[in-house]
Structure 1
Amino acid sequence: MTTRQPSDRFEVSGSAGSKQTLTLSVANFGYAAKQIVIKPLNAMTTASGTLGYSASRPLAAATSVTQLVKSQTLTLLPQTSKEVAIPITLPAIAFDGEVLGAIAVQIDQSLLPEDRGQITVPVAITMTDRLPEFNPTVGTPISSMDKQHPWLTIPVENRQARTMRHVKVTLKVQEQHWWNRFVAPTVQQVTMTNVTIAPNSVLPLKVKAPGNRFESSYQVSGTIQAGSQTWPIKQVLHPNAEAIADFNRDLPWPWTIWATLIGVFLGIVVLVAVIRYWWLFRK
């Protein structure tokens, strides 16, 4: 059983159910008493492909830092410092891989712009030497509007308790209606390189939706690469139906619908003309 406090992070490892204590030094160099909140955060992946921290529960995780560490509140008098003990009890059942998070020190229970009111100390927790295999997938896309154009946020999911580093993601997004399948496919492609995906987290990959309206389904294909491994991606994804219906009310109809209507109208005209010619010819 070991607990280390390097200059940049806590590293914790131990057996199932073991109790440990992290020690954090906090100081108030101001001239007024300050209320300090010490709280746990879980690792997450930012939209730019870097590690970040939030209170949200990790994806498909057996445990998390926010489950293992409790928040504390204390008052620091001016020009004083204090050693704070942070107890942590490891899960009763050992897990493979790693759990990442941070201990956040927050002043006055409020965040200032650019997180200047919060300091985070990363925490890494392990219980075995075994690491699960990577198996990245993509989940249900989230629809949004930006400058009157539809966008999709495609979640690239890492459901394993293992950090994915130096990842390259290349995805193509194509509408799933008949015009794009057989006539004139419209494809949007997005690529991100040197990405780090936290354990049990999602990389929110934003891509401009093909066309000028949301469709009920999209085909997403491409690859996710990490080191020498490559995972092919080919799935049909369906955004939330109610959300896209709300967005589409304020968007113009795509030209493919007008082309289809005109084609149907011309087909009816031709059919009527053929039937009339055949009828006259028979007479």
Structure 2
Amino acid sequence: MNKKIIYLVSMMFFSLMSFISMQQVAQADISGLTVTPLIGDSNISDRFQIIGKPNSTRTLKISLSNFGTRDLKLNVVPTNASTSMDGKIIYTQNVKAGQYGLKYAFADMTQKKTVYVKANKTKDVSFKVKLPSGEINNLIMGGFNIYDSTGITEGNATVPVWITNANKPVGGIVSLHDLGLDVIAKKPHIIVNLQNKEPGQMKNVIVHVTVKRKSWLDRFNLGDKKMTADLTYPKVAPNSRIPVDFDQNTTPIKAGTYVVKGAARSGKATWTFHKKYTITQDQANNINKRCKGLIYNKTTTYILIVCVLVSIIFLIFWAIWYSGRS
């Protein structure tokens, strides 16, 4: 009977401890790894939150538990939050001061570390964070990106670090940044990069964007079709780009002038944009040669061939007519 009571009490204890751990464990996609920010006395358990004065220093501790079967060599890299294509806050990109209006980069406040964690062991690692000397305007959304430095284990873990001078909500402003090209899964992509240049997080940003390549074939309704994107971003990080992806699938990138139009809305605020961009032949070739399965549209070539043939036939008939008059 006593053994049963001891067993039940033990199970209840471990269940409670597991629940507490689940409340404080940061997001981790690395197999066998549990990442826990050691926050201490705070009602916020999923991130560090610093409300500090300029030039002050804080020490942050992260607990890394390796429940896997092999040792891990982890990189713990400070960076700032970014916005993914599906409207999520991510900490996987290398963000520098000056990008998208970012005044202070979290990577400049602390150093990255490489940590070895043996199998079935836990290791705590500390970081000294030196706040900038200037005033912090609203929110710096920093964080630690944790990944396997050997590349053997895929995935990553993140520990957010939010720094502010006052715990007040701040909005953002959406504007057009540029037009970019990329290769994703060996397919060409045109990406319209919007941006939130303000140091405030945004929610539920609704975006409508169109992209049209200008061509003389538009006069005959034979030009490239207008591409349209209607998206909702649940979250947008402060001082970050907002990527709007146009997957070209098997269509190669064409050089030329592209017209980008659109609008964004968040709450009662609305922003509009309209701008032209040029994609050079070298830029198009650089993307296309890295892709596979592209199907080239030869409409322009066929039209030119027909025009040449018609011109030749016209010249022949003109020559015959002219010879007859002589």
TM-score range, shorter chain: 0.7 to 0.9
- With over 3 angstroms needed to count, the CA separation of the structure-2 counterparts of 1:217 and 1:209, relative to structure 1, is farther
Task: Give the equivalent residue in structure 2 for 1:142.
Answer: 181
Mapped to 2, the partners of 1:74 and 1:7 lie a distance apart of 23
Cα–Cα, structure 1 residues 4 and 51, in superposed 2: closer, same or farther, change >3 Å? Answer: farther
2:249 matches 1:218:
no
Cα deviation, residue 11, structure 1 = 0.8
Q: Report how far residue 9 of structure 1 moved.
A: 0.5
What's 2:273 paired with?
233
Q: Distance in 2 between matches of 1:181 and 1:163?
A: 44
Residue 206 in structure 1 maps to residue 250 in structure 2: no
Q: Secondary structure at 1:262's aligned position in 2? A: helix
User: Structure 1 residue aligned with 2:105, among 55, 61, 64?
Assistant: 64
Secondary structure in structure 2 of the residue aligned to 1:179: helix
Query: What is residue 156 of structure 1 aligned with on the other side?
Result: 194
Of 243, 260, 277 in structure 1, the residue corresponding to residue 283 of structure 2 is: 243
1 or 2, which has the higher strand percentage? 1
Bigger mean CA deviation after superposition, 89-98 or 244-253: 244-253
Percent identity over the alignment is: 21
1:174 equivalent in structure 2: 212
Please list, as runs of the form range in 1=range in 2, the aligned pairs for 1:42-191 lying within 5 A after superposition.
Answer: 42-58=80-96, 59-60=99-100, 61-73=102-114, 81=122, 83-106=124-147, 109-110=149-150, 113-115=153-155, 118-127=156-165, 131=170, 133-144=172-183, 150-180=188-218, 183-185=221-223, 186-191=225-230
Give the 3-state SS of the residue equivalent to 1:140 in structure 2.
Answer: strand
Letter in 1 for 2:56: S
2:157 alignment partner, SS class: strand
Q: How far, CA to CA, are the matches of 1:31 and 1:240 in structure 2?
A: 51
Larger helix percent: 2
Map of 1:255 onto structure 2: 299
> In the TM superposition, what is the alpha-carbon distance from 1:255 to its structure 2 partner?
0.3
SS at match of 2:91: strand
Unaligned 5+ runs, structure 2:
1-39
Report the more deviating stretch, 79-88 or 191-200.
79-88
Residue 204 of structure 1 deviates from its aligned partner by 2.9
Q: May I ask how many residue pairs the two structures share in their alignment?
A: 276
TM-score by length of 2: 0.68
Which secondary structure does the structure 2 equivalent of 1:167 belong to? strand
Greater mean deviation of Cα atoms: 22-31 or 192-201? 22-31
What is the CA–CA distance in structure 2 between the aligned matches of 1:54 and 1:145, rounded to whole Å? 17
1:14 corresponds to 2:57: no
